[in-house]
Structure formats: structure tokens, C-alpha cells
Amino acid sequence: MEETAITRIRAFLKRRAFAVGGLAVIIPLLVIIFLQYRALTTLNQTLPAYRKQLMRQYLMSVVEDFSRLYSKNSEQALAVPASSIDLPKNGVIEDDDERDVSQNAVTRVADHFKQQDFKGAKRYFVVVATDNNGVEGSEVFFYDPKSQTMIRDSKAPELKAVNVACASYMIYVREGTSVVPSATPVDRDLRNRLIVKPVINEWKKIVAVAGLVVDQEFFLDTVLPAAIRKSLPEFLPTEDQDPIISLYVRGMFYLAYDGKGNLLKLSESEQKVEPEAYQPLTFVFSNSSLTIRLKNLTVEQWARRNFTINLSLWVLMTLFLIAAITLMLRTASREMKLTQMKADFVSNVSHELRTPLASIRVLAELLNLGRINQPDRVREYGAYIESEGRRLTQVINNILDFSKIESGRKLFQFESCDFKEVVNGTLEAFTVHLKQNGFTLSYEAPQNSLPKVVLDPDAIALALTNLLDNAIKYSGDEKEIAVRISQSIGFVTVSVADRGVGIAAEEHEKIFDKFYRVSTGLVHDVKGSGLGLSLVKHIVLAHHGKITVQSKPGEGSVFTMHLPAEDQKSEQQADRAGSEGGLSYKLTG
Ligand code: ADP
């Protein structure tokens, strides 16, 4: 019981190998596409937020980058040793001739600034507190790189900003307060941004203030673009993103850079486009902020585009995969069928050869031994031997022609013929065979003469014989065969009709394939090679004609060969037949 179920399943799998294999591939692929679609949808929803986060981190990284640079360099450049300032009374200079004393006090500071090469600083300065007979004040000395000395510069544009920045420190200097000596940005005057740092003595008490004026041009032209360039690949590595990084200095100006740090000229409306991320600046250039957005798309649009592209690629790839696999499966299934058909062919052909040979041998032996005396029986046996011999020839001719067509060696000898004559000749040769098998043949042909046909008489005879042979083989008990010649526009036709087992509609095309045999119903019992109809088809096609079949199971079949009448045939073919003596035809499919 179980075994039959397994055998049935096996047989089903074998029969439906292509469909089963196809489903086994297509279902997982569809599942994968569905999962991929879900994953991509989720990604599409989360990607914008993630991108914005990345953009924010990128801006933070840019800000951190240059802040670190300014912080580190200004700490170092402004680390003026207290010893380089001559400090009477905790650094507060009290003297009548206070100006000269204060000048002297900071002389050695120049030695310190001389060694600094921080390009972000436009000017270095130091501020000391003064007390001139109770009048508290401060004195600003700028480092002059030309003379490498500290000078007073009453016209310096930064002077006011420096005084304002250091005023509070001066109170501490006067009081000798301990302070943390760290570099601090002062940006009250946005045109003159400063970094200042208290100068402390060995008791950590502030004695003066050292400072630098930030070189804004250098920051905007060099430092910021470098920082923009540096971090970009780490946070926005995708090439198709075209970021615009903008610096807003509130109430003053707006600058925009591309991802490479090049300055961009943006129209007013472009400047107003909402950014995706924002980061205030802290250490230097405080009071301003960096923003980022993509040039042509919002992050949401970008994510949607990514989603569409990815999904389309997936679908396309899957379709290609399905197509390739289908093709492979089809080829494999065809090969399997062909192998099966070839195996059947060998066994069928050997049977087809062996059966008539056995009959011939037995009958010939009987005749040879002289056991048959009645002349009627002798004639009958002779006719039988002849008929079986003809059958053998037919089988062998089929195989030989088939192999010639397969290898492209088949040459057709075309000549202009009387179609009726060719058909009559074939029928005559076949009559004995028909009679022997108890068939009645009805033959119908038009009285008037038919147009001539350019054909290979042997090939057409072989084709017709095959149709007659099939009519006999597949007639069962209905032993009536009708052959009919007729004429239609441009064609002459010959049809062979039987009242036999018939053929299901879905088999009508397949029966013309090589080795193909209908594997259901009565046909099981009939031996054959599966080559007959494929030969007929190829012979007819080589004549630029066609073969048609009308048949229903149980109602018999009508096979009709349509051959073009001579005037319809291309002259080219006739020429070729004449000059080359034949037409080579290759069997395909
Ligand atoms: P075979 O050697 O099997 O006859 P053919 O190529 O001549 O090979 O025919 C292919 C198949 O077509 C046959 O196996 C048979 O199933 C079907 N067939 C051909 N002719 C007939 C017919 N006259 N009636 C019913 N079935 C036919």
C-alpha cells in the first residue's frame, strides 16, 4: 500500500519534474522578495532619521575638529610664562613714568610670541594692569612680527575688543586672584573674535592676560573647508549624496560649502531651504551655527529613491533568476524526456525489426522445407514475406532518413511531378499490406488534371507511407482508410483518414516531435519508433508545405499534407534543386 503511494509520488515527480522544480525555486524566491520588501520598507521608514542623526554627528565632528585645533594651538601659543613679564607688585605697574615701565615689563613676551606659528592667529597681544597714582588702567601691547617686539598700537581696530575682553581680568590682576589659566574665546565683538588666556605666576595668581585675534579669513578659507572635507567620508560615504554645509553667523553673513569644502554661491531661495541637521559652534566662532542638507533632495526623498532603486533591482534580479532557472529546468526536463524517448525508441525499434524478421524467417523456413504444397498458400506466404520485408524497409528507411536529416546530410531531389502519379504509386505499393491487415481503402481524386508540383517523389512517398502506416497501426477494429487528393488555392493536398483511436487536442503538436509517442490509451500496445510524423513534418517543410491534423480521441484522425503547386513555388527553390541537385534539410526541435 505504502509502496504504491511512494511509487505514485515518484512517478508524479518524474512526470511533473519541471513544474515541481519550478515551484521549488519560485516559491522561495517569492518569499525572499516579500521579506526583502518588508526589510526595505522598514529601512525606508528609519533611514531618514538615521541619516539626519548621521548628519548631526558629522557637523559635530566638523565643529569638534576645528575647535580642538584652536583650543590646542591657542593654549600653547598663549602660554606666556609669567617670568617674561617684569612684575613689580603682583603685575600691577605703578610708576610715574608708568608707560615706559609697562613697556619694559612686557619686553620679553615678544620672545615667546616669536616662536609661535599658529596660522589661525592674526595678532598676539598681552594686557597688563596699570595704576597711575590711583588711576587704575590697563595697557595693551601687540606683538609686531616685523620688529619682533611688543608695541603699543592705539589705532589697532581690535584695541577696543581687547580692552573689553580683558577688563574683568584686570580686576583679578589687581587683587592677585587665583584663576584657571585656560584659553577662552571672547566674541562680544563679532568682527574681532579673540581668544584670551590669563598669565599666572608660580602661585597660580593672574599677573596679565595673553591673547590672540582670530584670523577670520583663515578660518573661513582654510580651517573650516578642511574640517568639512575631512569628516565627510566617515559620515556620508554615499557618492550620490551632494551635501551643502552652511555657516550662519547671526546677523552678519551666510556661507555655503559643498562636501569638498568649496564655497558655493546660493540664491536667496536656496539659502532658505530647511536644513536637515544643525549644530551651534562653540569654541571659536560661537554665536554662529553649521547646518547641512542635501543639494537636490530632502533626506526623505533620498530614502524613497533608495527604496525604489533597491526594490526594482531586487525584482529585476529575481526575474532574471527565475527566467534563468526556468530555462535551465526546461532544458533539463526536455533532455530528460528526450533521454526517455530515446530509450523507448531503441526498445520499440528492436521490436519493430524483430517481429517482421521472425515472421519472415518462419515462413521462409516452411517454404524452404517444402512443407507448403498448395500454390495458393505459397503465394499467400510469399505476399506476407514481401509485405513484412516492405515493413522492414520502411522502418530502416525511416531511421536512415532521420539520421540524415539530423546530421544535415539529407538531400532532396526536387523535380516537377504529377502529384496524382506519386500518390497512386505509393498506394499501389501499399495495397498488399492494407489487404493483409483486412483494411478497405477508399480513394478519391479530382477528375481534372492537377497543377504540377516540384517535389522529391521518394521523400513524398516515404511521408505518405508513414501516414498510411500510422492509419493502419492506430485504427484498432475500425479498418477503413480513406485517401483523398484535392486542390486548394496554390496548394495540392493529400489526406489520409482513419476511424481509429484518434488523438487528444493537446497532443496534436507534440506528435510531430522526434521520438514523441502518445503514452495513453490504446497506443500503449502499438509499437513504433516515434520518428514517422517528425519525418513527415520535415519532408513537408522542406517542400515549403505544411502538415495538418484533425483528430479527436475515439473518432479517428485525418492527416493532410499541403504542398505548394508549381507556379506558387519560389523559383529560387526550383533553381537550387536544378543546380545543386538537391536541398539539404536539418531536423530541429
Ligand atoms: P510511431 O512510430 O509511434 O507511430 P509517429 O511519429 O509516426 O511514431 O507517430 C507519433 C505518435 O502519434 C504515435 O505514437 C501515435 O501516438 C500518434 N499517431 C500517429 N498517427 C496516428 C493516427 N493515425 N491515429 C492515432 N494516433 C496517431
Q: Is 324 helix (H, G, I), strand (E, B) or coil?
A: helix
Give the Cα separation of 559 and 475 in Å (integer).
Answer: 13
CA of 380 to the centre of ligand 1 (A): 29
> Whose Cα sits closest to atom 16 in ligand 1?
518
Binding site membership of 170 for ligand 1 (Cβ less than 6 Å): no
Of 213, 203, 205, 200, which is closest to residue 84 (Cα–Cα)? 200
For residue 250, the model assigns a pLDDT of 77
Q: Give the number of the atom of ligand 1 that is nearest the alpha carbon of residue 559.
A: 23
Which CATH code fits 78-217?
Answer: 3.30.450
Give residue limits of the domains in the chain: 2-70+301-347, 78-217, 375-587
For residue 127, the model assigns a pLDDT of 93
CA of 530 to the centre of ligand 1 (A): 7
How high does pLDDT run on average in the chain? 84
Give the Cα separation of 184 and 168 in Å (integer).
Answer: 13
For residue 12, the model assigns a pLDDT of 75
Give the Cα separation of 467 and 462 in Å (integer).
Answer: 9
- Asked if residues 186 and 201 have their Cβ atoms less than 8 Å apart, the reply is no
Q: Residue 35: which H helix or E strand, with range?
A: helix 17-77
Binding site membership of 430 for ligand 1 (Cβ less than 6 Å): no
CA of 425 to the centre of ligand 1 (A): 23
Binding site membership of 211 for ligand 1 (Cβ less than 6 Å): no
DSSP summary character for residue 205: B
C-alpha separations of 168 from 102, 140, 175, 198, 524 in Å: 19, 14, 11, 11, 114
> Whose Cα sits closest to atom 12 in ligand 1?
511
* Residue 575 clears pLDDT 50, i.e. is over it: no
Q: Is the domain defined by 375-587 classed in CATH 3.10.129.10?
A: no
Contacts of residue 8, defined as CB under 8 A and 6 or more positions apart, other chains included, come to: none
Q: Between 462 and 92, where is the model more confident? A: 462
CA atoms within 13 A on the CB side of 211: 29
For residue 98, the model assigns a pLDDT of 63
Crossing angle (nearest 10°) for helices 375-406 and 457-473: 120
For residue 587, the model assigns a pLDDT of 35
What sign for the dihedral angle of Cα 327, 329, 333, 335?
positive
DSSP summary character for residue 328: H
* Residue 588 clears pLDDT 60, i.e. is over it: no
Tell me the residue ranges of DSSP E strands in 66-183.
121-132, 135-144, 149-151
> Whose Cα sits closest to atom 2 in ligand 1?
528
Q: Between 343 and 261, where is the model more confident? A: 261
For residue 585, the model assigns a pLDDT of 36
Pairing relation of β-strands 149-151 and 184-186? unpaired
Q: Residue 316: which H helix or E strand, with range?
A: helix 299-369
For residue 177, the model assigns a pLDDT of 87
For 447-502, the DSSP string reads: SSPPPPEEE-HHHHHHHHHHHHHHHHHT-TT--EEEEEEEEETTEEEEEEEE-SS-
Mean pLDDT on 295-311: 85
Least confident of 68-72, 183-187, 444-448, 527-531: 527-531
CA of 572 to the centre of ligand 1 (A): 34
State residue 21 phi and psi, 5-degree precision: -60, -45
> Whose Cα sits closest to atom 18 in ligand 1?
470
* Residue 338 clears pLDDT 70, i.e. is over it: yes
DSSP summary character for residue 148: T
Q: Give the number of the atom of ligand 1 that is nearest the alpha carbon of residue 500.
A: 24
User: Model pTM greater than 0.75?
Assistant: no
How sure is the predictor about 570, in pLDDT bands with cuts at 50, 70 and 90?
very low
Give the Cα separation of 545 and 561 in Å (integer).
Answer: 7
Q: Give the number of the atom of ligand 1 that is nearest the alpha carbon of residue 516.
A: 10
Crossing angle (nearest 10°) for helices 419-436 and 457-473: 30
- Asked if residues 198 and 177 have their Cβ atoms less than 8 Å apart, the reply is no
CA atoms within 13 A on the CB side of 205: 14
Binding site membership of 223 for ligand 1 (Cβ less than 6 Å): no
Q: Give the number of the atom of ligand 1 that is nearest the alpha carbon of residue 496.
A: 23
Mean pLDDT on 115-121: 90
Q: Residue 258: which H helix or E strand, with range?
A: strand 253-258
| Residues 39-73 pLDDT 10s | 888 888 888 888 889 999 999 999 999 999 999 99
> Whose Cα sits closest to atom 20 in ligand 1?
470
Percent of the chain past pLDDT 90, that is, above it, reads 35
Cell numbers 589661525 correspond to 120
Among 439, 470, 518, the mutation site with the greatest number of ligand 1 atoms within 8 A of its Cβ is 470
State residue 277 phi and psi, 5-degree precision: -145, 160
Of 400, 391, 398, which is closest to residue 356 (Cα–Cα)? 391
